[in-house]
Chains A and B, each alone.
Chain A
Amino acid sequence: MHTLLLRSLLALTLLISAVSSADSDPVKSQTQAFIFTAIPDQDESHLQARFNKVADYLQRQLGVEVLYIPVKSYAAAVTAFRNNQVQLAWFGGLSGVQARRLVPGSQAIAQGFEDQFFSSYFIAHRSSGLSKSETLPAAMAGKSFTFGSKGSTSGRLMPEYYIRQQLGDSPDKLFSTVGYSGDHSRTIALVQSGAYQIGAVNYQVWESELAAGKIDTSKVSVIWQTPSYPDYQWTVRGDVNAIWGDDFQARLTTALLQMKDPDLLASFPRSAFVSADNHLYQPIVDTAIAIGLIDPNQ
């Protein structure tokens, strides 16, 4: 018995000392590290190694310590941004909008070149009998359908918007089943295997998997492409200048726009970054409100 008590006391002591040392310093000093996060829309493995290089680049350009922390989902990225655990994030269209609503004063400062005209593909297994068409085919109704991740712009938001717009009903009423595969690669795998008959996927992920020979086009093919919309962007918190100096946000923007090393850009994967602002993403805000993912009065 006393060994248990001893152990418990020991653990408690350690715990208390650990917790009390943690919250002693809420106001950070000037030497605070600048932290960012990023979830690319494909190839999420080995993020730490790849983005440490981006952190090194930013550190050289900005002259302050820059760290990267990996997160697992759009929601986790937004939460970290909201709680000031990260000050800069590479967000998808929807997660960026959510983040900027939760952190007043934050700004979209740069987007990928490709993100000016992003798009989603609707893909279908051959057993569905659907083929490429000008609009979403009404014959989609009654079939099984999968989105990507619940918070994805290209795998959920825009596809759902066009489903409602063109077929006149919500996905759960139109389709026999509505799944959330959680990931673009998995959406492709599931539709290719016929587990789901139709899916919606980020066009870029489709193109790169196609180029890599992972897709059997006799089994799964693109049936419709959405009109273009703005997607991924860098968003920074509004209070960074107060911590790192008056021109910090401007210098950060320049550093991002001047990132030319293909090795660094490949992590996103984008060919270049171009400037952006919050207003560009108004269509995403309107769409998210239209399908009920965010509340209009927030």
Chain B
Amino acid sequence: MNPIPPTFPTASTLISGDTSASAMRRVSLWFAVSALLCLAMADLSIVSADPWGELSLMAAGALSPSVWSWPTLATSLANTFAFALQGVTLGAIGGFALALGYRFTLVRALCAFIRSIHELFWALLFIQIAGLSSLTGLLAIAIPYAGTLAKIYGELFEEVDPAPANNLPGLRRKLSDFFYTVLPLAWQPMATYTSYRFECAIRSSAILGFVGLPTIGFHLETALGEGHYSEAAALFYALLLLIGTLRLWLHKRLLPIYLLAVFIYLPPTADISWQLVMRFITEDIVPVPLRGQGFNGETLTHFGHWLHLLWQQQLWPGLINTALLGQIGMVLSGLLALALLPLNSPLFVKGWKRAGGDSILVLLRTLPEYLLAFIGLLILGPSMLPAIVALGIHNGAIIGHLLGRHTEQIRLRADASRGVSLYFYEVLPRVYRQFLAFLFYRWEVILRETAILGILGIATLGFYIDSAFETFRFDRALLLILASAALNIGVDQFARYLRQRLHLKTTPESL
């Protein structure tokens, strides 16, 4: 055995100031600079209009919620819950299986690929072959969630203390080693994270209503679109109540009962005709110039032309806009998260105040980005600004909530300072590593979410994917989806590299 060389900081690293803190400072600075550059390129004009008429209607609606039909409300809430629970369960099983092979690049790429496609687009894909069915709803959640959970589980497995595994005697059996030395150590954070993802799944499930699945989003979107704000308020409050009270009634021990109930209530079925599946694979998604033709020089030229036009008109501008919006949205999310973190931190607020602060964060992250964008559009006019604000508020509230919870682990000295000093001199430095880790995780989510802001006329990749579905050009839709998946995989790889470079703990208990 070679002696392990001591890892004291050498004189050169000390002189250059190359500590991990300075690396974090540098990365933060680069992100801020890149966001500023993106800002310079983005359209941020503000149109001063008169939004107050519409906003006062919205406010009046928010103050006078009215339920149009209790049975409709009850069934759409039940459907929302059922899709979410089924989706997360199946996603957890699939994610666990994938996580076992997470050290293989190919598996990691597959996971990054399936989670890079927005739930809405998964739903639109499945609608083509399985119709508006309960199976479509289940798969649209389960597949991207399997990709996300695989990543988290996989990284948890990588990060567990290797001591127990290293102390095993010879004759290793990989699987049983894993079950005895890795899984027990990773189990608790896995459970915490999965339960947090369940809240996300309820939001995803609600949003699936936007494309026609019978969840609460179906009615919410209609009510908002037509300006029936009292009804929209009632639906939104019901969704908030469902999410806000999860902790009270979704106990671990009752889970099997709930699971059984949702599978009986909403069995995932669909009339799948193999004819439709075949048509989808052999015709719909085949690029138009290649359809039903022999393969020769001429079709190849047509295909080249088709590809060139698509690149010029949609792929390239879409990539640019998605990256711009994603970058600014991420940095704003980070800033807001740091500002919002005290609302859910026991170091700053206690008791009912913390409950109140947490409620504000639940409210902010449950408000559909789509609604935030609409309000932003009314006030600021059409530009990238409302999209940035919508993405920032939504994701900032999520990261702020998680950071706040993270501060529960911080033990302060009895003579610790308070208020602003406590925040800047003690809490911020101690959570900053975790903050960056959370933010990098959220990066790809933000990119994915740029998809649903077409109302603002921002031509992101998601905007073009949506247009392709609207005109039944599934060949274009698929290519655009692949492009956005490639972007997400690239960002994921880069974030992974940064995390390793900065030695960030890559295993957040929850994200």
Contact = CB atoms under 8 A, between A and B. Distances in A.
A219 B218 CA distance: 31
A45 interface: yes
Contacts of A183: 225-226
B236 to A, nearest CB: 15
Interface stretch (B254-262, B344-352, B489-497): B254-262
Interface string A72-95: 111110111001010000000000
Contact of B269 (A21, A46, A76, A216): A21
B378 A44 contact: no
Given A185-B227, A195-B382, A45 B68 contact: yes
A204 to B, nearest CB: 14
Given A185-B227, A195-B381, A179 B456 contact: yes
Interface in B406-441: none
A73 B217 CA distance: 13
Contact of B89 (A7, A19, A189, A295): A7
Given A18-B263, A18-B269, A45-B226, A79 B471 contact: no
A1 B182 CA distance: 13
Given A14-B267, A144-B381, A194-B50, A150 B470 contact: yes
Which among B127, B256, B268, B471 has the greatest number of chain A C-beta atoms within 10 A? B471
Nearest to B187: A1
A71 B132 contact: yes
A237 interface: no
B256 A6 contact: yes
B378 A193 contact: yes
Which among B209, B231, B273 has the greatest number of chain A C-beta atoms within 10 A? B273
Contacts of A193: 49-51, 53-54, 378
Contact of A72 (B218, B231, B263, B467): B218
A11 B90 contact: yes
B259 A7 contact: yes
B128 interface: yes
A69 interface: yes
A195 B273 contact: no
Contacts of A48: 72
B225 A151 contact: no
A177 B382 contact: yes
Interface in B32-89: 43, 47, 49-51, 53-54, 68-69, 72, 86, 89
A44 B263 contact: no
Contacts of A29: none
Contacts of A74: 470
B270 interface: yes
Contacts of B127: 76, 79
B377 A195 contact: yes
B355 interface: no
A127 B271 CA distance: 53
B288 interface: yes
Contacts of B267: 14, 18, 21
Contacts of A213: none
Given A83-B276, A179-B457, A22 B212 contact: no
B20 interface: no
Nearest to B381: A195
B212 A192 contact: no
Given A12-B93, A44-B226, A76-B211, A194 B51 contact: yes
Nearest to A179: B457
B69 A46 contact: yes
A179 B49 contact: no
A131 interface: no
B457 A146 contact: yes
Contacts of B183: 1
Interface string B232-267: 000000000000000000000001100110011001
A19 B211 contact: no
B106 to A, nearest CB: 24
B53 to A, nearest CB: 7
A181 interface: yes
Nearest to B43: A177
Interface in A166-182: 177-182
B189 interface: no
A196 B50 contact: no
A189 B227 contact: yes
A194 B231 CA distance: 25
A10 B146 CA distance: 18
B272 interface: yes
Contacts of B442: none
Leading 9 A-B pairs by shortest Cβ distance: A194-B49, A179-B457, A72-B212, A22-B269, A183-B225, A18-B267, A14-B263, A177-B382, A76-B212
27 contacts: A7-B256, A14-B264, A18-B267, A26-B271, A42-B226, A44-B222, A44-B225, A72-B209, A79-B128, A85-B131, A125-B49, A144-B47, A151-B470, A177-B457, A178-B457, A179-B454, A180-B455, A181-B455, A182-B454, A185-B225, A186-B226, A190-B377, A190-B378, A193-B54, A193-B378, A195-B377, A293-B471
Interface of A: 1, 3, 6-8, 10-12, 14-15, 18-19, 21-23, 26, 42-46, 48-49, 69-76, 78-80, 83, 85, 98, 102, 125, 127, 144, 146, 150-151, 177-183, 185-186, 189-190, 192-197, 214, 216, 219, 293-295
Interface of B: 43, 47, 49-51, 53-54, 68-69, 72, 86, 89-90, 93, 127-129, 131-132, 135, 179, 183, 187, 209-212, 218-219, 221-223, 225-228, 231, 255-256, 259-260, 263-264, 267-273, 276, 288, 374, 377-378, 380-383, 454-457, 466-467, 469-472
Given A183-B226, A194-B51, 10 more contacts: A8-B93, A11-B89, A14-B260, A21-B267, A73-B470, A150-B471, A181-B455, A192-B54, A194-B50, A195-B49
